[in-house]
Amino acid sequence: MECTSSVYLPTFHMGSSIFLWLFLIFSVIFSPVSAKHSVTWTYGVNYGRIANNLPQPESVVTLLKAAKINHIRIYDADHGVLQAFKGSGIEIIIGLPNEYLKEISIGEDRAMNWVQENVQAFLPDTRIRGIAVGNEILGGTTIELWEVLLPAAKNVYSALYRLGLQHTVEVSSPHSEAVFANSFPPSACIFRPDVAPFMKPLLEFFSQIGSPFYINAYPFLAYKNDPQHIDINYALFKDNRGIYDAKTKLHYDNMFEAQVDAAYAALDKAGFNKMQVIVSETGWASRGDPDEAGANVKNARTYNRNLRKLLAKKKGTPFRPKMVIKAYVFALFNENLKPGPTSERNFGLFKPDGSIAYDVGFTGLVPSAAPPSILVSFKEIAGQGWLRWSYLLVSTAWAVVLL
Active site residues: 136, 281
Point out which residues pair with 216 in neighbouring strands.
281
Return d(Cα 183, Cα 219) in angstroms, integer.
12
Which SS3 state, helix, strand or coil, does residue 237 take? coil
Pairing of strands 170-172, 213-216: unpaired
What's CA 161's distance to the chain center, in Å?
26
Of 346, 393, 352, the closest CA to residue 60 belongs to 352
- Rounded CA-CA distance 214/137 in Å is 12
Q: Per the omega criterion (within 30 degrees of 0), is the bond before 185 cis?
A: yes
Alpha carbon distance 211, 91 (integer Å): 16
Cβ proximity of 1 and 331 under 8 Å: yes
Burial of 241 per CB tally in 10 Å (0-12, 13-18, 19+) = exposed
320, 308, 363: which is closest to 27 by C-alpha? 363
